[in-house]
Amino acid sequence: MSGTRDPRPDRRSFLVSSGAIAASGVLPASARTPAAPEPPEPASSSPAHQGADGITPATIREAEKLAAVRYTAAEREQVADSAGESVERLRRRRGFPLPNELAPAQVFDPGPPPATASSDRAPTPPPTRRPLPSDDEDIAYAPLTDLAAWIHRRELTSRRLTEIYLERLDRFGPRLECVVTRTDDLARRQARVADEEIGAGRWRGPLHGVPWGAKDLLDTDGIRTTWGAAPYRDRIARTDAAVVRKLADAGAVLAAKLTLGAIAYGDIWFDGKTRNPFDLEKGSSGSSAGSAAATAAGLVGFAIGTETLGSIVSPCMRCGTTGLRPTFSRVSRTGAMALCWSLDKIGPICRTTHDCALVLAAINGGDAGDPSSRTVPLPFDPGRAVRGLRVGYNPSWFEGEAAGEHDRRALDAARAAGLRLVEVDLPDWPYDTLMTILLVEAAAAFEELTLDGRDDELVWQAPEAWPNTFRATRFIPAIEYVQAERFRRRVAEMMAERFDDVHAIISPSYAASLLLITNCTGHPSLTLRTGFADDGTPRATTINGRLFDDGTLCSIGMAIERELGVWDRRPKL
């Protein structure tokens, strides 16, 4: 498909040999606007003077506006004459298939893991003092730590818990529009095996027997994986993604494939719009829309989401779940849809921070299928004292409309937990330059949709949606992509300096470009519920951690979560 030529002339793109044509959609207006009106094109740029494919100096002149450059008339003639070679090179390359799972040769490295990393010992749930509730709804909303303890003590069977969640998926899944494919038969088989193993004394760990939901961009053998997009709605994988395989090895029970905004953007998918359990009139945000909604509504014990730029953070903010975006490269993405090879991350969406740590321990580690991935131990002690740990913040982030009362309460909770708040600042840099990397990688990953016109099949067709974004991104100069990567390195160096002095940085989730910055530098983040709005919908705050120090990040999150005591309020479905 990558080699299919687009029959519609208005969708053809071309590259000129010396500087490419094309433009960034994130350039400020001043950069896109010529400094002064251009003089008329000289007579030599008439249609008679043209290069291959009808490219004339006038073509180049118009393309300059996209690339924010200015050439002379003589330079335009030279570029037009030499453009044919570049155009033909593009056509030859498009004849060579590049499947979605094929990563670029250049691999992003967020930095070395800490030298003090301890052995990779999987955390176990503490003995819960809570008795097993008699009410199924109370069981459904219990944190993973309780579910694991009840199953381990054989007070609760996996089969009973699985039937509770399957029944809730029946009742509430259609209302929330959060399920793409049910996996009832598989779930019942896995639950039966779990009970048999636990009964025989072979307990695999805290996820054993607990039903979960997979964001529907994780491949499942023989079960369709649609990427939330109409062009792929009948796609069936023949292997399990690495994360799916690891969770099966941990004894977890796959109950459903959950919705995502088409091609991992937003909450609109090919058959609906995923709803917020706390307000069914609103979407759940995206793109891990179904994972957050199903977890918040007690339809699964936990779920897996992915993030490129906010796809775990945003739906957790909207639905009140706890989302852990691990350090880039900590979790293998083999068998997961690629949107941006140097940005995509896979992480848990749960009801509590401790739950997230348990799930991350199960999916932690790299494999050969993902060249960016690595296996780094995950030190985590749920009883760790956090008093005295340094947490960075900036007072201006928590003032005015940029923050809510819940964010300020989170700061107070950090102080009450004994964390030492330290002021940090970020330089005033053009961080939106980093968007170039995301846009270019995403447009490359789904080039086939743009070139063969199948992008028209996507439900969401707004100017900001993927179809138009992919088309516009083809006009970003290759030079600008390289410069954005160089800028990315400088930003990573700056963040390393900030984290030299603090263990974490707390902020309103969208403050100070931190969402974009930390996604591009690979730092882990934890988004947890910190309060509620007047309309009863949840609100959240985000904490960013040091590279590969996800365990400390979870310890800090647990301390703040305990002080606030708001994680367990349920939606009224």
The set of catalytic residues is: 215, 287, 311
Q: b/e for 223-260, b at 16 or more Cβ within 10 A? A: bbbbbbbbbbbeeebeebbbbbbbbbebbbbbbbbbbb
Exposed (0-12), middle (13-18) or buried (19+): which is 534, by Cβ within 10 Å?
exposed
* The two structure tokens encoding residue 437: 């990397």
> Position of tokens 């969402």?
515
What residues contact residue 159 under an 8 Å CB cut-off, 6+ apart? 188, 191, 192, 195
Residues in the chain, total: 573
Q: What span, in angstroms and rounded, lies between the C-alpha atoms of 493 and 419?
A: 25
Q: What span, in angstroms and rounded, lies between the C-alpha atoms of 286 and 122?
A: 30
End-to-end CA distance of the chain: 44
* The two structure tokens encoding residue 7: 């029959």
* C-beta separation of 280 from 174 below 8 A: no
* C-beta separation of 160 from 132 below 8 A: no
DSSP string, 57-86: HHHHHHHHHHHT----HHHHHHHHHHHHHH
* The two structure tokens encoding residue 68: 């924010």
User: To which H or E segment does residue 539 belong?
Assistant: strand 538-545
Q: What span, in angstroms and rounded, lies between the C-alpha atoms of 155 and 372?
A: 42
- Residue 420: count of CB within 10 angstroms of its CB: 15
Q: What span, in angstroms and rounded, lies between the C-alpha atoms of 270 and 233?
A: 8
CA distances from 3 to 9, 82, 452, 490 (A): 16, 23, 9, 36
* The two structure tokens encoding residue 341: 């090879």
- Between 353-363 and 144-152, two packed helices, what is the crossing angle to 10 degrees? 70
* The two structure tokens encoding residue 363: 């999916």
Q: What span, in angstroms and rounded, lies between the C-alpha atoms of 333 and 291?
A: 17
Instruction: Provide Rg for the chain, Cα atoms.
Output: 25
Residue 306 bridge partners (DSSP): 346
| CA torsion through residues 302, 306, 312, 315, sign | negative
* The two structure tokens encoding residue 211: 């039903």
Q: What span, in angstroms and rounded, lies between the C-alpha atoms of 325 and 522?
A: 9
Q: What span, in angstroms and rounded, lies between the C-alpha atoms of 161 and 148?
A: 11
* The two structure tokens encoding residue 550: 């996800």
- Residue 31: count of CB within 10 angstroms of its CB: 10
